[in-house]
Amino acid sequence: MSNNQVTMDKIVNLCKSRGIIFPGSEIYGGMGNTWDYGPIGVEIKNNIKKCWWKKFVQESENSYGVDAAILMNARVWDASGHTASFSDPKMDCKECKTRHRADNLIEAHSKGTVNADLLSNEEMEQYIKDNNVCCPRCGKSNFTPIRQFNLMFETSRGVTEEGQNKIYLRPETAQGEFVNFLNVQRTTRAKVPFGIAQIGKAFRNEVTPGNFIFRTIEFEQMEHQFFCKEGQDQEYYEIYKNLAWEFLKSIGIDESHIRFKDHDKLAHYAKAACDIQYQFPIGWSELNGIHNRTNYDLSRHQEYSGKSMLYVDPFTNEKYIPYVIEYSIGADRLMLAVLSEAYEEETLENGETRQVMHFHPAIAAYKVAVLPLQKNLSEKAREVQKMLAKRFMVTYDEAGSIGKRYRRQDEIGTPYSVTIDFDTMENDTVTVRDRDTMEQIRIKISELSDYIAEKIAY
């Protein structure tokens, strides 16, 4: 609604106090930059994933889902280029021993006017010296030289020390789609162009994680690889830019809070790349990426695995390695955008303020709250709860004044509250309160379930 009121602190506090997101391993003093989703948070995140899947798999004629293993043959990461070059330029402050990304230091110092992606390590070191760029923690300018730091988490596979092999926690889900390209194509009899989607965990040993769930070391990605013929690639690149934008709008992100940002520097294999940025409480930052990756990924897997990745066109018999348009968005980063977007401290007519989360109903954790006006109406209220729970996530609350109970639902963004009162016992009707307008209507219990279903449809 109006995300200019919201700060990161307000979101973190709300998340912690309302069971949305807790610090990871909290009773042991935490585990830096890990977060646990609570009862409300897990529902919201699942709903984000469901909406994405609906748009990019269910409603898409030519898309198929996979759920590939997190642990993959280590050769996959040689082929993808991650073992050689999935790294960030790291510098340590010699004074206070904190670790930084040189590119981030430069971008912050130049207020975004210098694009550090375009600089070599030597040029970054020189810029930092010439401009006396200081450590954000201690204010001194005394850094180690830059070292490239690989972001992949390593682990080992094997039962004996000697027989152990180095393997990695996947740093992106995309390779699971690439290595299964022909499995999916053959088993579904899909014809190029078609897409493969996946939602799953990824892990990155980030040099500077932080900003709550914006950048973490363990996160979920929702990725869609669209395989097409060379020549059609730019057309589909534009189509996916548009679909990515429309998806954000469809879950309630206001268009004025998102913008496209073309990449200034393309990876050597990429033909085009852009991000959609969101106006987070920390400023405009990447929410998702869309890339025209040419036929690089499948060609590399063909080269490294020795298995043909050729697609045979069933009409022309032409053989070729398809181009890939990749659309990739972090589920947790989108969750942060959704939380920022929904947050409002609203001043009411009577001068009071209410904190309300205006989630799209499809995203909200509970679709409906059942509230008996008094405790002696609880039997009937439980009946209504049971009936609604067959179709929706429902919550029940009989503690405190009805006003307080409405506020509690507003804070977690429940779009509808159903009140059971004395008239309910007479004529089987209930009131339904709308979270956003706070207006109430009276409807028959027999019509309630369909009414809610229609209101929350996505």
Judge whether 21 and 332 are in contact, CB under 8 Å.
Answer: no
Which residues on adjacent β-strands are paired with residue 168?
154
Residue 324 and residue 297 in contact, taking contact as beta carbons nearer than 8 Å: yes
Among 204, 300, 301, 380, binds ligand ATP (CB under 6 A): 204
For residue 193, say if its preceding peptide bond is cis, omega within 30 degrees of 0: yes
Token representation of residue 399: 């503690």
- ∠ at Cα 182 (181, 184), nearest 5°? 70
User: Tokens in use for 85?
Assistant: 């070059």
Helix (H) / strand (E) element for 423: namely helix 422-427
Residue 355 and residue 14 in contact, taking contact as beta carbons nearer than 8 Å: yes
- In angstroms, what is the minimal distance from the CB of 68 to ligand ATP? 16
Q: Work out whether the CA dihedral 216, 171, 128, 264 comes out positive or negative.
A: negative
Contact 177, 225 (CB under 8 A): yes
Element (H, E) at 10: helix 8-17
Evaluated on CA atoms 266, 272, 273, 276, the torsion sign reads positive
How far apart CA 240 and CA 63 sit, in angstroms, is 13
Stretch that binds ligand ATP, among 244-252, 329-337, 384-392, 400-408 (CB under 6 A): 329-337
Shortest separation between residue 17's beta carbon and ligand ATP, angstroms: 23
Stretch binding ligand ATP (CB under 6 A), from 35-43, 89-97, 323-331, 441-449: 323-331
- What does the H/E/C string look like for 217-282? CEEEEEEEEEEECCCCHHHHHHHHHHHHHHHHHHCCCCHHHEEEEECCCCCCCCCEEEEEEEEECC
Interface pattern 340-369 for ligand ATP (x via CB under 6 A): ------------------------------
Min separation Cβ 382 and ligand ATP, Å: 40
Give whichever of 248 and 329 is closer to ligand ATP, judged by the CB atom: 329
Q: Kindly report the backbone phi and psi dihedral angles of residue 161, in degrees, each rounded to the nearest multiple of 5, phi listed first.
A: -55, -45
Name the token pair of 26: 């909290």
Token digits of residue 257: 């809070």
CB 46 within 8 A of CB 53: no
Q: Figure out which of the listed residues 219, 236, 296, 396 binds ligand ATP, where binding follows CB under 6 A.
A: 219
CB of 131 to ligand ATP, least distance (A): 23
- Comparing every residue's Cβ against ligand ATP, the nearest one is 330
Nearer to ligand ATP, 245 or 406 (CB): 245
For ligand ATP, give the closer residue by CB, 215 or 293: 215
Contact between 332 and ligand ATP by CB under 6 A: the answer reads yes
Residue of the chain from 215, 293, 300, 301 that contacts ligand ATP (CB under 6 A): 215
- List, in sequence order, every residue forming a beta bridge with 195; answer none if it has no partner: 63, 226
Does residue 89 interact with ligand ATP by CB under 6 A?
no
Measured from the CB atom, the residue of 332 and 410 that comes closer to ligand ATP is 332
- Encoded tokens for 179: 């290595």
**124 or 192: whose CB is closer to ligand ATP?**
124
Q: How far is the CB of 171 from ligand ATP (least distance, A)?
A: 8
Write down the least CB distance from residue 203 to ligand ATP, Å: 9
Nearer to ligand ATP by Cβ, of 286 and 398: the residue is 286
Under rule CB under 6 A, residue 198 binds ligand ATP? no
Q: Which is nearer to ligand ATP, 233 or 326 (CB)?
A: 326
206 scored as a contact of ligand ATP (CB under 6 A) = yes
200 touches ligand ATP (CB under 6 A): no
253 scored as a contact of ligand ATP (CB under 6 A) = no
Residue 107 engages ligand ATP in binding (rule: CB under 6 A):
no
Q: Does 328 bind ligand ATP (CB under 6 A)?
A: yes
Query: How many chain residues interact with ligand ATP (CB under 6 A)?
Result: 16
**Residue 297 near ligand ATP by CB under 6 A:** no
Kindly state the DSSP code that residue 143 receives in the 8-state scheme. Answer: B
Who contacts 246 (Cβ-Cβ below 8 Å, separation ≥6)? none
Q: Quick one: which of 185, 221, 340, 414 contacts ligand ATP (CB under 6 A)? A: 221
Q: Which of 80, 175, 216, 419 binds ligand ATP (CB under 6 A)?
A: 216
Q: How far is the CB of 242 from ligand ATP (least distance, A)?
A: 17
The total number of residues shown for the chain amounts to 458
Looking at the Cβ atoms of 293 and 433, the one nearer to ligand ATP is: 293
Q: Which one, 217 or 388, has the nearer CB to ligand ATP? A: 217
Read off the amino acid at residue 241.
Answer: K
Is there a contact between 372 and 378 (Cβ–Cβ < 8 Å)? yes
Q: Would you tell me which residues interact with ligand ATP (CB under 6 A)?
A: 172, 204, 206, 215-216, 219, 221, 286-289, 328-330, 332-333
